Structure 1
Amino acid sequence: MAKSTSVFVCSSCGAELPKWQGRCPECGEWNTIQETLVSDKPPLQVKAAQGSQGRTGRFSGFAGATDSGAVDLGSVSLTQIPRIHSGFGELDRVLGGGIVPGSVVLIGGNPGAGKSTLLLQMVSFLAASVKVLYVTGEESLQQVALRAGRLGLNTQNVRIATETGVDRIIFLCEKEAPQVLIIDSIQVMYMDGISSAPGSVSQVRESAAALTQFAKRKNIAAFMIGHVTKEGALAGPRILEHCVDCSLLLEGDRDSRFRTLRCQKNRFGAVNEIGVFAMVDKGLREIDNPSAIFLNRGDQVSPGSIVMVIWEGSRPLLVELQALVDSTQYGNPRRLTIGTEANRLAMLLAVLHRHGGVSMGDQDVFVNVVGGVKVEETSADLPLVAALLSSYNSRALPRDMVIFGEIGLSGEIRPVQNGADRLTEAYKHGFKQAIVPKDNAPRKKIPGMTVYPVSSLAEVMSLI
C-alpha cells in the first residue's frame, strides 16, 4: 500500500512547507496554508514528445515540438497559426481571433454566470465542422441534455461523457481523438496517484498540468472551467493560471442580464480584451455594439451623469458614469464606488480639494459605472471629477458631451492612449462636444464636434 504523508501548501502561490504557518513566506499572503495528503505512489505521467536524445519534458509545447537544442530565433517559422471560429464573434475577439489548436483556455466566473452555457453553445456550433468532446464532472448527461434542449441547440455529433478521473479522461481522448476538449470543471478532477481530495491544491495543480501537457502533445484545443473564490479570483493555486495559454473571467451581476467576458492573460492576442453578452432565454447572445447598450439613458439627464470613453483591449467603449454627492447624516462620510477603484476616488477627492478648492469632506460620495462595467484604466479620472462637480453643484452636464483624461496629483491633465479613436467612436454615436487632454486634441477638426482641450484642473472647472 502506498504511504501517505502530510504537506502544507499555499493556495495562493503553491509553495510547499513542512509545517503550518499563518503567513506564506513565499508570497506573503495570510491564512492560505492548507494541509494536503500526498501519496508516495507516483502520479500519472503523460509522455511528452521525445526529442533527438529521447528525453521528455513536462510541457512539450505544440504538436511536433522536439528537444533538439537551441536554434537561431531568426530561423523560426512565422507561419500564421490557423484558428477555429467559435461561433461567437465576441469570444473570438477575446481569444485573439479564434481558437488556436493546441491551446489551453481557462474560463472562470461566479456560479450562474453562464460558463457552462457558453461552452455548450460553442461546442454545438463546432460539432458541425470539428470533432468535440464535452467532459462534465458536475452534472449528469441528462442535465446537460435538458439544458441543450432548453436552449434549442443542435446536439448532433456532440460527444459527451461524465468523468472526473484525469487518467480515464486522457484514455477517452486517445480513443475519441477530439479537436476541441471541454473540462467542466477542473476543481472536481482528480488523479489516482494523489490521495488528497478533489479541489485541493495538489489535485488541481497536477490535474491541470497533466491535461495541459496532453492537450499540447495531441494538438487539442482545451477549455477548462474554473471556480472562483468569494473575492472573485480563480480558485486554486496561482500556477493554474500560469500553465494555461489564456485566462478568461465571465463577469456579471445576478440582477443584470449582461455578461462581460474579460481576458486576463492571452499568449495569442491582446490582454484586457472584453466581449459583451446578454443572457436570454436561448442562452448567451453576443452584443455587437456594446456602447449602444451602456448608453441607454433617459430623455432628461440629471446632475452627476456623464459619458466617458474607455479603451478595452482593441476598441473604444462608451460608458455612462454616475456620481451622487450628498450631505452626510453620520459622523464619518461614506465613500462607495462600484466599477472603479475606491483608492482612486479618494485620491481624486484630495486633488479636487487641494487644486480645485472644493472640499467634500462632509459629503457622502457614491460612484457607479452603469451596466456593471469595471473600469481599470486612468482615463476615467477626468469624467469622475466632472460628475462629482456636477452633482455637488446640482448642475447637469450637456447630454451630447463626452469626457476622458487622466489627472495627476498636481492637478495637471495627462493624455491617454488612442485619443483620436475615442473621439471618432463618440462622434459615431452622436456626441457633439468633448473635453479631452490638450495632448489628445485632434490635429484635424472633426466636422460637427466641438473639442475642448484642457491642461489643468482649473480649466476643467471653468468649463463645467
Structure 2
Amino acid sequence: MAKPRTHFVCKNCGYISPRYLGRCPNCGKWNTFREEAVEKPTHSLFGNNTGGTTQRVNFSSLRSKPTLIGHVKSHGAPRFKTKSEEFNRVLGGGIVPGSLILLGGDPGIGKSTLLMQISGQLSDSGKKVLYVSGEESANQLKIRANRLSISDSPNLYIYPETDMDAIRSAINEMQPDVVIIDSVQTVQEPSIQSAIGSVSQVRGVTSDLMGTAKTNGITIFLVGHVTKGGSIAGPKTLEHMVDTVLFFEGDLHHSYRILRSVKNRFGSTNELGVFEMRYQGLKEVKNPSKIFLEERLRNATGSAIVVAMEGTRPILVEIQALVTPSIFGYAQRTASGLSRNRVSILMAVLEKRCGLMLQNQDAYLKAAGGITLNEPAIDLAMAVSIASSYRNISTNPEECYIGEIGLTGEIRRVTRIEQRVTEAQKLGFKRVLIPKHNLEGWQPPEGIDVIGVTTLNQALKIALGR
C-alpha cells in the first residue's frame, strides 16, 4: 500500500513546503509548519469530490465575451438594510445579496452577539436566516437570543453543526437569504484530509461557501478567529477571497466597541460604527463624539481636541499627552491608539522648529476612548498636547485643532474641512485652528471662530498664549 503523500503548511500565511522548516521563508514566523495530507485535485469550480462523485456547476449560461467598456451598463448593487444604522454604514449602506462577509475580533468582544442581533432584525423584516454554530449548542444559542430579546421568528433557524456536507445540504434545502457561520475555523470539509481549523480546511470551506453565495445569491457571514498578533487566523487568501472584511474592536474592560471595515468591494473601507455593550446586547452610539469627550477634565494640561474623519463621519476625539523628564539615558516614546513613529517625528519637529527641549523627556500619548486614529489631520492636535504638557499650560477647553504638520514645521491642508468645522460647531466649540490654505473657497458656519495658521510656531502661540 502506497504511503499517503504529505506536505507542510505554514498556519500563519499558508506557505507550502515539501519538508519541515523551523522558520517560514514567506512570513518569517517560527514553528508554524504543520504536516497535512496532500489534497486530491477537484474538477469542479465550486464543488468538492464527496462520495466518489464530482459536483459540477454548469456555467454555460453565464459565459461572457470581451465587451467594450462603453457598452457596459453600470448600476448600483442592490442592498437590503438592517435596523442598525451603524452596521449599515460600515457595510456601505446595507447588505449586498450574494456577498461573502468576514467578521474578525478578539475572543469575547461580542462578534456572536452582534450577528445574533442582526439575525433577529433580518428575520423580523421577512428575511430567512440560517445561523450555523460550530461552537455552541442550540440551548446556548436560545439563551443568548432570550437575553437579547429576539422574538421567536418563523424566519430564524439555528443549526449547531460542523460538517460542511450537512451545512451544504441544509442551505440547499432551505434556500435562506442570509447564512451565518460561527465560526469558519470550526467547520470541517470531509473531502480534505487535515485537522479542523488547518489552513487547508479553512481555505476549502471558504471556497465552498463562496461558490454557494455567488451561484445562489445568498449573503454569508463568516466569523473568523484572530491570532495573538491580531490578524485573522488561517491563510491570508481567506481575506482575499471574501468581499468584505470587518473587525470588531474594543477593550474588554470598557463597554464601547468599534466595528471597522478594512476591505469592502461594495463601499468605503474607512467607515466605522460605534456600539455600547450592555447586558441586553449592543446598543448603537448615535453621537460618538459626545461619548469620547464626556469625561474630559477642563483646564487639564496635555489635552487637545481633534476632529478626525472616519470615512464620511467626523468624530471629535481627545488626544492626551504626558511629558516628563527621563530618568534613563534613552527617552521613551509610547502611544496608545496613535502611531508611535508619528509621535517621534512630531517631537523632533517641535524640538528643531519650536525650540522645545524634548530629547531628555519621556512622552506618553493616548487617543482617549479606545479609538485608533491614523490620519494626517491629527498632527496639530498631537503637537499641541505635547507642548501643553511640556510647558504645563492648559489649552482652551472650547478649542480644537486640525492640520497636518510637515517636517519644516508648516501646517498643511487636510480634506473635508467643512464637515470637520461644522461638527465642532454643533458640539459647542467656539474656536478651531485649521491650515490657512483650507480657508479658501468656503464660508465657515456662524458661532465658531475659524483661525488659519501656516506654521507650528504660530499655532502654539495661539493655542498656549506664548
Distance 1:300 1:462, change over 3 A: closer
CA deviations over 1:128-175 (Å, ceiling 9, x no partner): 211110000001111111111122211322111111122221111001
CA deviations over 1:93-140 (Å, ceiling 9, x no partner): 000111110001000000111100000011111112111100000011
| Residues 322-333 of structure 1 aligned to structure 2 (within 5 Å) | 322-333=320-331
Q: TM-score, normalised by structure 2?
A: 0.92
- CA-CA distance at 1:42 after TM superposition: 4.9
The alignment status of 1:452 with 2:451, answered yes or no, reads: yes
> 1:50 aligns to what?
59
Q: What is the rounded CA distance, in whole Å, between the counterparts of 1:123 and 1:11 in structure 2?
A: 31
Check the 8 A contact 2:349/2:408 in 1, yes or no.
yes
- CA-CA distance at 1:21 after TM superposition: 3.4
- CA-CA distance at 1:12 after TM superposition: 4.3
In the alignment, residue 143 of structure 2 is paired with which amino acid? L
- CA-CA distance at 1:51 after TM superposition: 2.1
When structure 1 is superposed on structure 2, of 5-14 and 282-291 the one drifting more is 5-14
Check the 8 A contact 1:412/1:457 in 2, yes or no.
yes
What SS does structure 2 have at the residue aligned with 1:37?
A: strand
> 1:139 aligns to what?
136
> 2:149 aligns to what?
152
Structural RMSD (CA): 1.8
CA deviations over 1:383-417 (Å, ceiling 9, x no partner): 00100000111111001101011111221211111
- CA-CA distance at 1:252 after TM superposition: 0.5
In the alignment, residue 34 of structure 1 is paired with which amino acid? F
1:119 equivalent among 115, 135, 145: 115
Q: What is the rounded CA distance, in whole Å, between the counterparts of 1:70 and 1:51 in structure 2?
A: 16
Q: What is the rounded CA distance, in whole Å, between the counterparts of 1:40 and 1:420 in structure 2?
A: 56
Check the 8 A contact 2:319/2:366 in 1, yes or no.
yes
The alignment status of 1:6 with 2:6, answered yes or no, reads: yes
Check the 8 A contact 1:436/1:452 in 2, yes or no.
yes
Q: What is the rounded CA distance, in whole Å, between the counterparts of 2:175 and 2:335 in structure 1?
A: 49
- CA-CA distance at 1:361 after TM superposition: 1.9
**Structure 1 residue runs without a partner (length 5+):** 53-65
> 1:273 aligns to what?
271
1:358 equivalent among 356, 359, 372: 356
The alignment status of 1:320 with 2:329, answered yes or no, reads: no
- CA-CA distance at 1:193 after TM superposition: 1.7
In the alignment, residue 141 of structure 1 is paired with which amino acid? A
| Residues 226-375 of structure 1 aligned to structure 2 (within 5 Å) | 226-298=224-296, 300-375=298-373
The alignment status of 1:393 with 2:402, answered yes or no, reads: no
1:86 equivalent among 82, 86, 91: 82
> 1:18 aligns to what?
18
In the alignment, residue 250 of structure 2 is paired with which amino acid? G
- CA-CA distance at 1:213 after TM superposition: 1.2
Q: What is the rounded CA distance, in whole Å, between the counterparts of 1:368 and 1:97 in structure 2?
A: 31
> 1:63 aligns to what?
none
Identity %: 42
> 1:411 aligns to what?
409
In the alignment, residue 265 of structure 1 is paired with which amino acid? K
What SS does structure 1 have at the residue aligned with 2:270?
A: coil
CA deviations over 1:343-362 (Å, ceiling 9, x no partner): 11111111111111112122
Q: What is the rounded CA distance, in whole Å, between the counterparts of 2:421 and 2:400 in structure 1?
A: 9
Check the 8 A contact 1:2/1:40 in 2, yes or no.
no
Q: What is the rounded CA distance, in whole Å, between the counterparts of 2:403 and 2:423 in structure 1?
A: 16
> 1:60 aligns to what?
none
What SS does structure 2 have at the residue aligned with 1:336?
A: strand
Q: What is the rounded CA distance, in whole Å, between the counterparts of 2:237 and 2:259 in structure 1?
A: 21
> 1:62 aligns to what?
none
Q: What is the rounded CA distance, in whole Å, between the counterparts of 2:414 and 2:271 in structure 1?
A: 17
Check the 8 A contact 1:2/1:41 in 2, yes or no.
no
What SS does structure 1 have at the residue aligned with 2:429?
A: coil
CA deviations over 1:268-297 (Å, ceiling 9, x no partner): 111121000000111001111111111113
> 1:29 aligns to what?
28
What SS does structure 2 have at the residue aligned with 1:4?
A: coil
In the alignment, residue 267 of structure 2 is paired with which amino acid? G
Q: What is the rounded CA distance, in whole Å, between the counterparts of 1:444 and 1:374 in structure 2?
A: 30
Distance 1:23 1:414, change over 3 A: farther
Q: What is the rounded CA distance, in whole Å, between the counterparts of 1:7 and 1:412 in structure 2?
A: 56
CA deviations over 1:369-394 (Å, ceiling 9, x no partner): 11100001111111001000001111
- CA-CA distance at 1:449 after TM superposition: 1.6
- CA-CA distance at 1:460 after TM superposition: 1.8
Distance 1:418 1:132, change over 3 A: same
> 2:52 aligns to what?
none
Check the 8 A contact 1:252/1:372 in 2, yes or no.
yes
Q: What is the rounded CA distance, in whole Å, between the counterparts of 1:205 and 1:340 in structure 2?
A: 34
Q: What is the rounded CA distance, in whole Å, between the counterparts of 2:30 and 2:243 in structure 1?
A: 29
Distance 1:450 1:217, change over 3 A: same
What SS does structure 2 have at the residue aligned with 1:127?
A: helix
- CA-CA distance at 1:2 after TM superposition: 9.4
> 1:441 aligns to what?
439
Q: What is the rounded CA distance, in whole Å, between the counterparts of 1:277 and 1:108 in structure 2?
A: 16
Check the 8 A contact 2:11/2:34 in 1, yes or no.
no
Distance 1:378 1:211, change over 3 A: same
1:421 equivalent among 419, 425, 430: 419
Check the 8 A contact 2:82/2:121 in 1, yes or no.
yes
- CA-CA distance at 1:33 after TM superposition: 4.5
Check the 8 A contact 1:3/1:40 in 2, yes or no.
no
Q: TM-score, normalised by structure 1?
A: 0.93
- CA-CA distance at 1:88 after TM superposition: 0.7
1:101 equivalent among 93, 97, 100: 97
Distance 1:461 1:79, change over 3 A: closer
When structure 1 is superposed on structure 2, of 16-25 and 290-299 the one drifting more is 16-25
Distance 1:12 1:405, change over 3 A: farther
